[in-house]
Amino acid sequence: MGLREFDLIVLGGGPAGYVAAIRAAQLKFKTAIVEPERLGGVCLNWGCIPTKALLKSAELYLEMRRLRQFGIEAEVKGFDFGRIIARSRQVADRSSAGVQYLIRTNGVEKIVGMGRFVAPNEIEVVDKDSGEVKERVRARHIVVATGGHPKSLPGVEFDGQRIITYKEAISLGAQPESLVVIGAGAIGVELAFFYAALGTKVTLLEMLEQILPLEDAEVADALAKSLSKLGIEIHTSAPVKSVQKTDIGVTVVARRLKEEITLHGDMALVAIGIGGNTEGLGVKLERGFVVVNEKYQTSVPGIWAVGDVIGPPLLAHVASREALCCVEEIAGLKPAPIDYESIPSCTYSQPQVASVGWTEKMCGEKGIETKTGKFPFVASGKAQAAGEIEGFVKVICDVKTGRLLGAHLVGSGVTELIAELTLARTHQMTGRDILRSLHPHPTLSEAVMEATAAALGEAIHL
């Protein structure tokens, strides 16, 4: 068996891996990417992209049911669950094919199989199913981008039928009548919204005191009220004690304060977090993730790591940026470091949630005096015209410097508004800088301007 040599090898073909491989090829490295599945990773194949296709179907279905509000008479006969799922798979297929095209046109060689280290700079590629060794490859630099996997509750095993992960949840053959969602982070909330919008009886459980635990408390509360109106039964501060399969579904027992809650459903979706795919890497780990320094170097020289495998924030856009920084560091380009305190976060339920920077609570813990401005979409002319008046924009500025410290949004389309505020925070702009930028009228983006004006005590439309 021959030993092929490359300048750089990437393990994993997700948003971190394929971006690292393409950037390496652009920088004239002879590059290979080792991946046992389709390119695109969880994000393109089983996460970010297909879920957005599902959510769009749910949103349209809800929109069609209120057409009379817009003066339109039409009959909504229902929906075809199978076609909704099929469309999402088609979207995922096209996305993965697009990545395959980019890999090929950039001259990156794809090696199909699982990579495992036999030396710090040498990888054995094995068949995923049989374990048979296919070949060995070597490179001076190896970038680990193996991603993550769904965590399960202690003593609870996924079976893909009654106790499921997001992967099964977005590709079910039939719609469940009832669903218990364990974990109210972005994945749990999005899938809870999708199924509830289509009529499934959904119960959402979260062990912490609010849904979307990393988000601003006021934003989380506003979303919880909206999801409750949709029919979702929400229990927070409710850690799960047990999940048992029955002849007809599942029984979930949780504890809320001193009371036990027993819930029944056709299925239980466990969405409590992601663990790193770290098996066989031979590098230092901490809490289930690979340990890296500020340049993404692991404990072993020549081995680098980026993306979900190195831990939170577990976001595709972060993984891709880490990949670019890592490869450019290898090439000696000295890239600007990522500002991890200015990472935007989005949840694509309806209403949507988007945020960047610190919450008011975090600012208080840091001893920073702040001024906060909030603008409700009910006061926005564009939101009124669109019939999307739910939610608000909140901005937080430093009293001493005027600098934007955080922004927290809930409402229709807010995931498209967060980029402006991310730019402002990344470049340490002030509220005054935001106000100096003209915002077109009428747009939802005016809510950003108005919330900022409110923080400065200059609100016009409040």
Residues 6 or more apart from 384 whose CB is under 8 A from it? Answer: 378
CA gap 296, 276 in Å, rounded: 15
CA gap 179, 184 in Å, rounded: 13
Going by C-alpha positions, the residue among 433, 346, 451 that lies closest to residue 394 is 451
CA gap 155, 237 in Å, rounded: 21
- Look up tokens 């466990």; give the residue: 270
Which tokens is 311 given?
């831990």
User: What crossing angle do the helices spanning 217-229 and 186-197 adopt, rounded to 10°?
Assistant: 20
Torsion angle, alpha carbons of 396, 402, 403, 405, to 10: -20
Phi and psi (nearest 5°) for 231? 110, 5
The residue annotated as part of the active site, out of 317, 408, 441, 461, is 441
Question: Where are the strands (E) in 64-170, listed by range?
Answer: 109-112, 114-119, 122-126, 133-144, 148-150, 163-164
Dihedral over Cα of 10, 13, 14, 20: its sign: positive
Amino acid at 84: I
Would you call the peptide bond into 313 cis, given omega within 30 degrees of 0 as the criterion?
yes
Burial state string for 335-361 with b = 16 or more CB within 10 A and e = fewer than 16: eeeeeeebbbbbbbbbbbbbbbbbbbe
427 flagged as catalytic? no
Amino acid at 67: L
- Look up tokens 């009379």; give the residue: 68
- Look up tokens 């809930």; give the residue: 410
CA gap 95, 40 in Å, rounded: 7
Kindly tell me the number of DSSP H helices and DSSP E strands found in the chain. Answer: 13, 24
Triad 145, 167, 201: Cα angle to 5°: 145
CA gap 422, 436 in Å, rounded: 16
Taking CA atoms, 134 is separated from 31, 113, 114, 138, 310, in Å, by 18, 8, 10, 14, 28
Catalytic (active-site) positions: 441
